[in-house]
Each structure stands twice: as structure tokens, then as C-alpha cells.
Chains A and B, each alone.
Chain A
Amino acid sequence: MTVGVRLDEAAWGLLHQAMDVYQHDARAVARLRHQVARLEQPLRIAVAGPWRAGKSTVLNALMGEEVAPVEGADGVFTWYEDGPSPHATAYPVGQPPQELTVVKSATGMRVDLGWRVGEVRDIVVRWPTRALRQVTFIDTPALAAVDEQGHAPVLDRVLRDSDAVLFLSRDGRDSDLRVLESARDSVVGQAAPVNVIMVLSRADEVGGGRIDGLLTARQLARRHHRDPRVGALAVNVVACSGAIGLAGRMLSEADFAALATLAGASRAELEAHLLSADRFVRGELPVHLDPEVRAGLLDRFGLFGIRLATTLVRGGFDTRVTLSAELIRRSGLTELRESMTRCFVDRRDTLKARSALAAVEALVRAEPVRGADELVAAIEQILAGAHEFRELRLLVALRNARLGFDAELAAEAQRLVGGDGVGLAARLGVEHEATVQRLWEVAADAQWRWRDRAEDPLLPLAQRRGAEVVVRSCEGMLAELAAGGR
């Protein structure tokens, strides 16, 4: 749905232009070739965050299986790619790649790294799963706090190697935001924060394990999202309890049976035993449950998860499938996946083009040669000219409420430029199965209204410019509809 030059073509052209400029530098050419190849590969999404933010848990929850982390792989980037059979390869520094043994388990797999820490930089795990068809996940080491020079080496590599980032934070505290801010010093990086979703992980721990903790976490996420400082860093903020989500996705019949047994006890009786983890494992439960089963439940669900699950079972989610679905929904995992689809997967081309631009910019900065200025100019031209980036910039401006649109208009503009998803239906705010005729009508109407706004001399310039971008998006949609697409 693009009018004018396509962004991915522009990125491809830029990479080849850069290859011409750097033709005498074999290393640079290799890097650029790698970038060209990346344009065709699945989208790379890195899961990054500070120490014990729940990176591997969120990753497992997204894949629906227990595959992360690789045992003993501290400080290693672990790549999860789609593959025909389970397979793991370690890439030690300065040594040939080494196959690792993969042990399949009931709930996923275990990879053990027989290496000493520090020698291995990357582990590539191939794992046949649907979740990896379109994306490659990267499990990253803990982000350290920003050092004196304002650098965060791990985050730099994360941003270099991935197209999009799930930034995990327990509570979105200042020091976490500072780490993320430190990475925004390039032209491409400043253009639009489109590649980061902030995840308030461990949402189940909010409110000290109260039963409404996840709801509160969701409110917190919304509050963060409205915060201009966060809005400048992340395209969306989602509260998600990786642990509950994973437990929901992997809910086995045995677990369900145990939970159902627990739910069978009276609420008051059970409550006393769910006061603390110790009491739950060691106490005398009113119903019979093996201590090992209890420990297993506690390990997978956490105390909060057990409280939530028993409440849900009592509340009518009394089959494994419904309970699983409700747990996943409540954990925020559904929202996270939707958000990822909307912000990352649907914008795959934009994100990849962005990575390519960033890579060329980094190269030009690191090794300025003759003709590099033209490359920088080309990058800026693409950033300024590509309608996708203009839409993204408008989105950021709308989020920061810089333009001064009232809330309703801002919401509509946001929807039209793809803030709620880039599909035609999502942009136009109509039901999924609407006819082409209806889409056309809505799009044309939106175009007229926003054109009026763009040409209204009474409005401030910034608002008129914003409206122009919206008009352009509407025109694009109409063009796509005219071409017969949906």
C-alpha cells in the first residue's frame, strides 16, 4: 500500500550503493552482503532486558515450549530459528562451530553448554515450531546499567543484530529507561522508535501477588504508554506475565487435574494454605495432593498463578482448554503477541529496511570513505521521503500529544496511519470481513475529511502537516483498493 518508491526497494538500492562505495573493503562488503541477505530472512526479534527481568520465560511463553535458556550460557546470544529438526550449534570465538546435544523433554528441550563462559558468543538453536516461521527470536544477556561513557555494549549489539526488540523491565523504572535512551544517537535511531515494545514482565508480581495484580499491571502499562518519555522510546507498552502465560500454554492434564482438585476445596480453607509458598508446599491441604505435585505447580505457576488458576476454575473455566486460554489471555501474552504482530510482523519490510539503513549508517560512521557523504544523504533522503517513516513519525508525535489534536482526532489519525495495525480493516476501523465497497467508502470519507483539515488555514502548521500525512495514507489505501487488493 505504498505510493511512490517502495521502502524495501530503496533499502536494497542503498545497500548496493554502499557496496559500490566500499568495493575495496572486503570486510565492509561482506557486512553489506549480510545485510542484503537479512532482507530476505525472517524478522529478528530480540528479547532484551536487565538482569532477572524474565527474558527466557517470556521467550518460552511466546514459543509455547520450554526451550530457553541454554544451561550455563550467561552472556551468550541465543538465536532461536525455525528448522526441520531440533539442533543446536555453538559458535565459539576463533574456533569452528560446535554441535551441542539437544535433549527433548516432555515440555520442550534442554540444551547444555559444556563450555566455559566467555568463549562462546552465539548459540543457534533450530527448533521446529510454528512460532518461528515468521520471526527469529534472540535471547540476550542481561543489560548492564549504562557505563560512564553512556554506552551499553549488550544493547548496542542487540540493536545491531535484531530488527525489533522486546524490552523487558520489571516496572519500567528510570535506570531501565536510561539504558534504552543511550542507544538513540544515530540518525536512523532518532527517526522513530518503531522497533521497541516495552514489556512489563513479571506482571504477576505486581501488588505482592494480589489476585487483581495482572489488571493493575495492565493499568500501569497504559500509564507508562501515555508517559511521553516512554512514548519516545517504545512503540507500545504491554504488561505480560511470562510465567503465567507459559503455564497457560503448557497446561497439562495432570496440572489441570491438580488445580481442579485444589479448586474443589472451599475458598476460605484454601486461602489459608495459599498464604505463602511454604504453607502451600508443606502444610496439610484440605484435599489430597502429593507434595511433589504441589512443588511442581508452584514452580510452574507461582503462588499467584495457583491463586488465579483456582479462582478461574471455580469461576467456570473448568476444562483444560478454557482454563489454558483464560490464563494466556489474563497473562497478557495474547496482547503481547497481538502487539508484536501489529507493530513488528506487519511492518516487517519497514523494520528490515530500517535495520539496513542503520547498518549502512553505522558503517559510514565507523569507516568514512570517499562517497560516504552521499550515502548519508541517501539515508536521510529515504528517511525523509518514505511514507512509512513519515507515518511512524506522525505516530510518535501523536503519542506525545505534540500536535495538539484533540483526543478523538488523534485516535483516528493514529488508526489511519497504522498505529493500531497496518491492515486495511485495522486502519479504517471497520470489521474484518467488510466488503471492498465499504472499505472504499470509509477510506474516501476519511480522505476528504483529512484533506479539509490539511487545507484549513486556521489550523497550526504542525497539525496541517500531520493531516497531510494522514491524507497520503488514505490515498495509499484507495490506491491499493483500486488495484484490487484487500
Chain B
Amino acid sequence: MSDLNFIEMSAVEIAAGVRSGEFSAVEVVTAHLDQIDKHEGDVRSFVTQMGERALDGAKAVDERRSRGEELGALAGVPVALKDNMAYRGVETTCSSKILKGWIPPYTATVIERLEAAGAIAIGKTNLDEFAMGSSTENSAFFSTRNPIDLNRVPGGSSGGSAASVAARFAPIAIGSDTGGSIRQPASLCGVVGVKPTYGLVSRYGLIAFASSLDQIGPFARSVDDASLVLDVISGHDGRDSTSLAERSYSHQPIDNDVKGLRVGVITEMLDGLSSDVENALNLAIDALRALGAQVEEVSVPAAKFGLTAYYLIAPAEASSNLARFDGVRYGVRVEGKDMNETYELTRGQGFGPEVKRRIMLGTYALSAGYYDALYGKAQKVRTLIANDFDNAYDRFDVLISATSPTVAFEFNAKSDPLSMYMSDVCTIPSNLAGHPAMSVPFAGGEGGLPIGIQVLAPSFGEGVMFKVASALEAAANYKAIPEWDNKGK
């Protein structure tokens, strides 16, 4: 065994090393499995660990290399997968009791693409049940802890994926983002998280929460790695009608020269920030200015209605998407005296309180007599938000804001649903507009906890978004370190 520190390596470094034969995929995967053995008991990122499969996968990569076959862009790179994506033969739960024991007969497109590029799935990560939440406390199984401070939440809903990357269980992870579910946990765990343009990444195999908002994206510990993963998973998929034809993202070495770039700071996202987050945002503005960017405040007026519109549209779609969990064909069934009672008992016992709350909200929003005033109006707001963003992008190349109004909070700190919903106030508008946005770790806040800056761009503006994020990353001089490594120092 080499004395290389695999768990601190980037995906780019690992893939290069495996391809060149400097080290093996088995060595890489073994190192990460060891790290999981050491710290998963504290963090609890995974609903399902896939250690054996991962080692088999790593051996297969090494054998391909020894046969002289070409290896992909992510050869030997461990990846953690949010447990709301179907993986043939592996239990897929959405962290819900209602899907406990369900083993899909097919695999999500994104996972197929990752594996085709040589990535090694090492586990299915915990989430807020059906991706509904901002702390991963809504998992029906257990809460995931933030590796930077184990007394705090990792954010959510992709909390398990964000934590697994922060904990060095994998250099990269995959999440899904419906209203901030990649970016907010990325910010709270001190990693990079990207929500791509809607339609850039196939949703086939992603268990839908809100179909018109859901988008799959990567977590990584560097902007460069995130860019590489997006390259692998993006591109048209004939199995997803909302996947855009002839669109894909292609990874290139990122030139982070932002001189002359026009950067707008969104006025509507300045309110309600905690003082450490506000300071971090100001530091980011200063840093970009110092690098020669033109930074100005810009108003995106309709963005302030984003949260309200989102909590009509997302639950409405969810109420329909989650209807199929009825106990008839798969997952949990609680037998009643007749069909209707079986439905009621199955769904009553299978779903947790937040999922039920949203199903009821959404059912109401679509009901006869309320549709126009609720769902219909929310869709109009959505158009306004997209228009207001477009106006801003007439004058600016990218926009920035804080990703989350606060650093990671403690468990049970937000028992009131509305205060939890406010965690996503800065991230939701991008989902409504369908635009790309990402969080890049930039500063340490209260107690050294990570603070992410959100970079927003117009549709297919991933290139310029990564450029600005990379500049912030370089200027940041901040690195989120797991609690156990901090204590050791």
C-alpha cells in the first residue's frame, strides 16, 4: 500500500492516478471504506452502505486497466448517492418507511453515467423523507450529523450526501435539489454543491418530489471536481422528456479570471441574514472587487414571493407524485378491511408528518375552486420570477447571495415548519426559474462553522458560474475540517 492520503484527494487526482496506474482503484476505495468504518457511527450519512459491491467495482476497474482498456473520467472515484435514485438490486428508500425494502429493477440514468465513467458507488445516503426538509431530521430512519460539528444538522434534504463528502467518505456525491436541497447542505457542511439548469441532467430514476423543480447535481470538495462530475452526468436522455436535446455541460480547466465580469448582489436576499453570514457575503463582494469584477446590488423583485409560490407548486406536484405509494404494488402495505382503509392505513403509517403536511397542502392547492387562486397564481409568480431574473441578467453575468441565512443549526432547533422553510429563502428562486446556481464554501462563521456563497447564473450559464465560484474558492482561504481532525490538532 502506498502512503498516499487518498481520502483528501480530489476526484480529478484519483481518476488521474488510477488511469496512470500510480495507484489502484481498490486502494482508493479501501481507504474510503476505512474512513467510513471509523466515522460513520458518528456521522450516519448512509441509509445503505455498499462496501462489498464497491470493492468488486474497484477490482473491475483495475482489471480493465490491466487489460489495457480505456478508463473513464471518474475511474476509481468513490461516489455517494442520495437514496432517492433508483439503483437496480439495491434497496432504495427515500428515507421513508413506505419504501422500506423496495429494490428497484432498474437504475437511474445519472448512476449509469457515473458508473460508465468508472465511478464506484459506495453507499446510498440519508435524506429528509422524500427530499422534504432542510436538516435531514425528517428522515424516517435517523438524523445525519454535520461532520464539522456533530451537534449540528448537515442541512437537507441531501444532508447525507453533503456530510459524506465533508467527512471524506467520498470525494464526490450526488444529490437532488428542488428548492435548495443540494446548495443549503453544501453551505452547512462546507462543500461545493451545484444545482444545474433544469433539463441539463436526466431525472430518469430520480424518485420525484416536485417534477418541474427537481434537478440532480454534484457535491464535491472543489469547484473543479464539481465541474468534472457535471460533465459526466449531464446530457440528453431519451427516457426523460424534460431532458434538453443537444445540451450538455463540458468540463474544462476553469479559468477563474473574473476581471471585468459584472456581478449582481441580489437585494431581496440581503434581509434576514445572521451577522456572520452577512459578514461573509461582504467579504466575498470585497474579494471579487479586488479581483477586478464589477459588483453592484441588483433587485430581483419577484424573488421575494419565491418561498410562497414554491410552497404551493412543490406540494401540489408532490401530492400527485406521491399518490402511487398506496401499498398495492410495492413497498409497505398495511392491510385494512377494504381498499380505502388499506390506502388510509398504508399512507397513514408509511409517511412521516412533514410528507403528510405537504401532501395536504398540495391537495388543497389543486382542489376545485382553489386552483386558480393558489396553484394557478403561483405559476404566474413563477413566470414573474424568471422574467425578473432575465432582466437582471441583461445587466449582469452572474448574481450572488448567501446560500443559507445561517450556519448549521442544532438538532430540534427549528421545530416550527415555517422557520425551517425559511432556510431555503435564497435558494428556491433558482428552482422556480429553472436556472443554475451553486454554493461554494467561502468563510468560517460562528464557531468556525462553514458559510457558503451562492452563485447564480442564467440558463446554461454553468461555465461563468463555475468561473466565479472558482475565483471565490481561491480567494476564500477557508477549509471545512471534520470535527475529529480539528480535535486532533
Q: Do A and B come from one complex?
A: no
B residues apposed to A, CB below 8 Å: none
